[in-house]
Amino acid sequence: MRPLSYSQISLYQTCPLCYKLQYIDRLETKYKGYFSFGTTMHACAEYFFKVKVPPPPPLEELLQFYDKNWLSAGYESAEEEANYKVYGREMLAKFWEIHQPGFRMPIAVEWMFYINVEGIKLRGFIDRVDKLDSGGLAIVDYKTDRELFTNDYLARNLQLTLYQMAVAQSWFLPVERLTLYHFRTNTSCSCPPRDEARIEAARRLVLEVAESIAAGRFPAIEGERCPCDFPEHCPYYQHKFVPEAKEAGISGEVAMAGAVERYVSLQSQIKELQLELDELKRMLADFCRVEGLNRVYGAEHALTYKLVEKTGFSEEEVRALLEPAGLLGRVLSLDSAKLKELISDEAVAKDIRNKLEALKQVVASYPQFWPRRLVEEE
Ligand code: SF4
């Protein structure tokens, strides 16, 4: 198996099919402005810190490097690109202002690593590794995301965990700080290193992803980033990209496009009718109750009214009666919703929750459709 990187693991977690199309089938991805922007800003930070001896390059030189290494690909318009370019210069000037005074040489910049996680090779590049006064190490990764990172995000970030594993394996020095550097605000968002339990969880995750890839499990999982760069290969979108498919019949003379619209229209009529029916039912029941009637008459039909009572049992009372007699087991049945709750309850031992999760299996399947308005989507 080829080495895995954090981006690949993260993409597999987001959508296994998208991972396959990008990394196994090697379909070409589209250029995006924010990727180009991120690449340029990373290159500038590397240029600033990767000097053979201090001091770092003066601001003028750094900005010249920025201009020379600006990537134009992927921006939606010349105006968008121009705005980003001005924005990037401002960010970089601030970056220089913050990091130039008291400049310290990192011990690694754009450091490439290969590590072995129980037979699975992991590779990646770490933007920067600093040596702290304490003798420990600090890992820094630059990000051009819009939002600042929350403590919760930092604590859950898999990339930082994998980087800590890589650095600890190579330097044999303690990692003392993990940082995502938020370029847009020039803010270091830092957190303490991961403990052994978090490292173990990350190791398990790497192995699970590697095993799923090796087993060829590539379902499409729809999410926020959809449609990705390969909608014509995705079961959620490919139908839209084959015009003749929409005209094709699904049975007899029913055309696919017509069937979809008819389905949605019937479903919404049923919903409206159900609302009307519920309201009418409520009014008729109120009338019968107030007037003390058991039957009301229309022109051609009559409706007989009866207040139907639903009976049930108090769990506590039933338990108190049946448990001592050893009969409780005969009336217990599994409640899927409660089992799900148990699986996600952190107060329950992890191995029990994992074993319970592993017992989950498909017990029935039935077709279901969720309508979506295409106009809104576009
Ligand atoms: S469009 Fe969405 S669901 Fe389909 S392959 Fe791309 S990411 Fe996955």
> pLDDT tens digits, the chain, 378 residues: what are they?
889 999 999 999 999 999 999 999 999 999 999 999 999 999 999 999 999 999 999 999 999 999 999 999 999 999 999 999 999 999 999 999 999 998 999 999 999 999 999 999 999 999 999 999 999 999 999 999 999 999 999 999 999 999 999 999 888 899 999 999 999 999 999 999 999 999 999 999 999 999 999 999 999 999 998 999 999 999 999 988 876 766 676 766 677 888 899 999 999 999 999 999 999 999 999 999 999 999 999 999 999 999 989 999 999 999 999 999 999 989 888 888 899 999 999 888 888 998 998 898 888 888 788 888 886 554
Helices and strands counted in the chain (H then E) = 14, 9
Nearest CA to ligand 1 atom 5: 18
- Give the Cα separation of 121 and 188 in Å (integer): 30
Nearest CA to ligand 1 atom 3: 222
Please spell the DSSP secondary structure of 165-180, one letter per residue. Answer: HHHHHHH-S-EEEEEE
What's the pLDDT at 208?
A: 96
Question: What is the set of domains in the chain, with CATH numbers?
Answer: 6-214 (3.90.320)
What's the pLDDT at 245?
A: 66
Residue to substitute in 24, 27, 221, 239 for testing ligand 1 pocket (most ligand atoms within 8 angstroms of CB): 221
3-state class (DSSP) for residue 301: coil
Nearest CA to ligand 1 atom 6: 228
Distance 219 CA to ligand 1 centre (A): 9
3-state class (DSSP) for residue 291: helix
Distance 263 CA to ligand 1 centre (A): 25
| CA-15 nearest atom, ligand 1 | 8
Distance 124 CA to ligand 1 centre (A): 24
| CA-233 nearest atom, ligand 1 | 5
Residue to substitute in 10, 12, 222 for testing ligand 1 pocket (most ligand atoms within 8 angstroms of CB): 222
| CA-14 nearest atom, ligand 1 | 7
3-state class (DSSP) for residue 114: strand
- Give the Cα separation of 113 and 6 in Å (integer): 12
Distance 222 CA to ligand 1 centre (A): 6
Amino acid at site 24: I
- Closest by CA position to 42, among listed 103, 83, 91, 6: 91
Distance 12 CA to ligand 1 centre (A): 11
Nearest CA to ligand 1 atom 2: 226
Backbone φ and ψ for 157, nearest 5 degrees, come out as: -65, 120
**β-strand partners of 131:** 137
3-state class (DSSP) for residue 359: coil
| CA-226 nearest atom, ligand 1 | 2
Helices (H), the chain: 6-14, 16-19, 33-49, 59-68, 78-99, 151-156, 158-171, 196-214, 243-247, 256-291, 315-322, 336-343, 350-358, 374-377
Nearest CA to ligand 1 atom 1: 227
> Residues with beta carbon inside 6 Å of ligand 1?
15, 17-18, 220-222, 225-228, 230-231, 234, 236-237
| CA-225 nearest atom, ligand 1 | 7
Distance 208 CA to ligand 1 centre (A): 21
- Torsional sign, CA 69, 124, 59, 55: negative
Helices (H), 52-140: 59-68, 78-99
Distance 233 CA to ligand 1 centre (A): 8
| CA-231 nearest atom, ligand 1 | 1
CA distances from 44 to 70, 132, 180, 183 (A): 10, 23, 16, 11
